[in-house]
Amino acid sequence: MRILSGIQPSGKLHIGNYFGMMRPALELQEQGEAFLFIADYHALTTVSDPEALRTGVRDVALDFLACGLNPEKTAFYRQSDVPEVTELSWLLSVVTPMGLLERCHSYKDKLAKGLEANHGLFAYPVLMAADILIVQSDVVPVGRDQKQHVEVTRDLAAKFNHAYGTVFKIPEPSIRDDVAVVPGIDGEKMSKSYGNTLEIFGNEGEIKKRVMRIVTDSRTLEEAKVPEECNVFKLFGLLATEAQQQELAEKYRAGGMGYGTAKKAFLELLTDYFRPMREKRAELEQHMDYVEEVLRKGAERARAEARTTLKAARRAIGLE
Q: Which residue has the higher pLDDT, 103 or 79?
A: 79
Is residue 207, in this structure, part of any structural domain at all? Answer: yes
Distance between CA atoms of residues 84 and 311, nearest Å:
10
Q: Tell me what pLDDT residue 179 has.
A: 57
Q: Are residues 164 and 100 in the same domain?
A: yes
Identify the CA nearest to 141 among candidates 177, 165, 93.
177
| pLDDT tier, 193 (very low <50, low <70, confident <90, very high otherwise) | confident
Q: Are residues 118 and 246 in the same domain?
A: no
Is residue 63, in this structure, part of any structural domain at all? Answer: yes
The residue annotated as part of the active site, out of 159, 192, 297, 311, is 192
Q: How far is CA 269 from CA 202, 212, 216, 235, 274, in A?
A: 16, 14, 19, 10, 9
Distance between CA atoms of residues 164 and 293, nearest Å:
38
The residue annotated as part of the active site, out of 110, 147, 263, 280, is 110
Residue 235 sits in a domain whose CATH number is 1.10.240.10
Domain housing 300: 2-181+288-317
Residue 166 sits in a domain whose CATH number is 3.40.50.620
Buried (b) or exposed (e) across 46-64, using 16+ Cβ within 10 A?
Answer: bbeeeeebeebbbbbbbbb
Across 209-307, the runs of DSSP E, i.e. the strands, are none
Number of domains the chain contains: 2
Assess whether 263 carries a catalytic annotation. Answer: no
Assess whether 147 carries a catalytic annotation. Answer: no
End-to-end Cα, the chain, rounded Å: 30
User: Is residue 137 pLDDT above 90, yes or no?
Assistant: yes
Q: How far is CA 316 from CA 105, 164, 310, in A?
A: 31, 6, 10
Q: CB-based contacts of 251: which residues, under 8 Å, 6+ apart?
A: 257, 261, 262
Its pTM surpasses 0.85? yes
Distance between CA atoms of residues 316 and 162, nearest Å:
11
| pLDDT tier, 115 (very low <50, low <70, confident <90, very high otherwise) | confident
Assess whether 251 carries a catalytic annotation. Answer: no
Q: Are residues 296 and 269 in the same domain?
A: no
| pLDDT tier, 254 (very low <50, low <70, confident <90, very high otherwise) | very high
The residue annotated as part of the active site, out of 12, 73, 147, 189, is 189
Percentage of the chain with pLDDT > 90?
Answer: 76
Q: Are residues 172 and 250 in the same domain?
A: no
Q: Are residues 72 and 173 in the same domain?
A: yes
Pairing outcome for strands 33-38 and 2-7: parallel
Neighbours of 263 (CB within 10 A): 20
| pLDDT tier, 109 (very low <50, low <70, confident <90, very high otherwise) | confident
Is residue 171, in this structure, part of any structural domain at all? Answer: yes
